[in-house]
Amino acid sequence: MTTRELFVAAFYGEAKEKLPVYEQSFASDVASKILCRDAATGGVMLHYQEAVAGVKGESAYREFIEKVKQDKRDLYRLLGFGAISKPWLRGRPKMQVSEFEFLYGDPNGYWVICRYDPIAKTYGPVTYSEPPVWRGEEPIKQAVEGMWNAVENWSEQGKAWFENEVREWLEVAGNEFELVWSAAMLSVPLNEEWLTACAIVPELVGEYLKAQATLGCFQIESLAKLGVKIVWGGGDLADNHGPTYGPKFFRQYVLPCYKQIVEHAHKFGLKYLFRSDGNIWSIADDLFIEANIDGYGEIDYDAGMKIPELQERYQNLTCWGNVSCRLLRLGTPSQVKDCAAQIVEGCKSRGRLILGSSNTVLPGTPPENYFALLEAAKM
């Protein structure tokens, strides 16, 4: 099998002779060391690189996007990955407000300022025009209305934009990589405002999720038309202790939406992979039995989620990741190899394992540690 065929085979229990490896995000500084050039490939560091290019104008931003495509393709080819995806980007900022701070949105309306820390290589929101705290029902109602507007305007506006972007990255993938696409995701923003809404106005949050699910089904139809086989879905919902909004809310409002999405994906012959960090054991039966989800990624080793245990319980579940991001960044090559080898030994014979980090290759990760993971994949 080619590496591309091997990646797809893992969703059918047929990747038993060799083991596919994949990362959805690979920090730019680590990629730069591996490629021996300044690279732009992924992680929050990429958002800062994007902001720097974005404030220089449309031409500079377009050049940056082309560089991202080339760097990611070169890195994934070198590492032997069989799949590729568009990295998560924030878009162009409206303006630069200091050396490391950039404003997104409308300076006279809603805006957020993101800051880059050159030591930690992190980039994220630090100041909001409207902090995400509980302000009553009205902002939630507006968000629900906005999501349903996106559903209603899909055919006239959203569909063409979505499909053009997928086509653009299908060209990047070519015949060498399987394109996986982030779509049909369910997400309740994990901040004070929305988590309060889950407790006070859960029916409104449920309506927001229903609109997301409807939009996700439209996206699935477009992906199927364009030949994408695997939906890289899910949505963060847990921390180390369990679902942040509780199993009861999940089963009443979130689970029905996942069932709708997965049924639609299967109707069009697509596989659906759920992603979330954190400990999800309390809702695992709901996801992998009742909702019949095909795959699970961002499997959080440090939160107690272990692939061998998961596949013993859910024998048709394709699992991606699970090598601790913390260990990859702070451990030794031998420690990384031992951790990865335990996963490989426990699961390779099932043919449904895609080895990788438990979420992303973080900034500052030693390349030799990642090479140790690749060595374990060959065992």
- Find the mean pLDDT for residues 151-173: 97
State residue 247's pLDDT score.
Answer: 84
- Residue 288 burial (C-beta neighbours within 10 Å; 0-12, 13-18, 19+): buried
Sorted by where each begins, the domain ranges of the chain are: 3-26+134-377
Say if CB 86 and CB 65 are below 8 A apart: no
- Residue 333 burial (C-beta neighbours within 10 Å; 0-12, 13-18, 19+): middle
pLDDT band at residue 246, thresholds of 50, 70 and 90? confident
Give the C-alpha separation, 270 to 351, whole Å.
19
The pLDDT of residue 349 is above 90 = yes
- Find the mean pLDDT for residues 300-322: 96
CB atoms near residue 65 (< 10 Å): 16
State residue 160's pLDDT score.
Answer: 97
pLDDT digits (tens, 9 = 90+) for 280-297: 999 999 999 999 999 999
pLDDT band at residue 142, thresholds of 50, 70 and 90? very high
- Find the mean pLDDT for residues 109-131: 96
Alpha-carbon separation of residue 261 from 213, 239, 287, 301 (angstroms): 6, 24, 12, 27
Give the C-alpha separation, 368 to 371, whole Å.
5
- Find the mean pLDDT for residues 347-353: 95
Structure tokens given for 323: 């090598």
pLDDT digits (tens, 9 = 90+) for 328-347: 999 999 999 999 999 999 99
Q: Is the pTM of this model over 0.75?
A: yes
Q: Looking at residue 184, what DSSP letter applies?
A: S
Average pLDDT, the chain: 97
Give the C-alpha separation, 316 to 314, whole Å.
6
Structure tokens given for 230: 């695997």
Concatenated DSSP letters of 188-253: ---SHHHHHHHHH-HHHHHHHHHHHHHHHHHHHHHHHHHT--EEE-B---EETTEETTHHHHIIII
- Find the mean pLDDT for residues 298-317: 96
Q: Considering the chain, what percentage of its residues have pLDDT values greater than 70?
A: 100
Instruction: Dump strand ranges (E) for the chain.
Output: 83-84, 95-98, 101-105, 111-117, 122-128, 178-181, 230-232, 238-239, 242-243, 271-275, 295-297, 318-320, 353-354
- Find the mean pLDDT for residues 225-245: 95
- Find the mean pLDDT for residues 10-16: 96
The pLDDT of residue 245 is above 90 = no
The second-level CATH assignment, the architecture, of 3-26+134-377 is Alpha-Beta Barrel (3.20)
Question: Which 3 state secondary structure label does DSSP give 96?
Answer: strand
- Residue 224 burial (C-beta neighbours within 10 Å; 0-12, 13-18, 19+): middle
The pLDDT of residue 137 is above 90 = yes
State residue 379's pLDDT score.
Answer: 83
- Find the mean pLDDT for residues 59-87: 98
* Biggest CA pair distance of the chain: 58
- Find the mean pLDDT for residues 105-114: 96
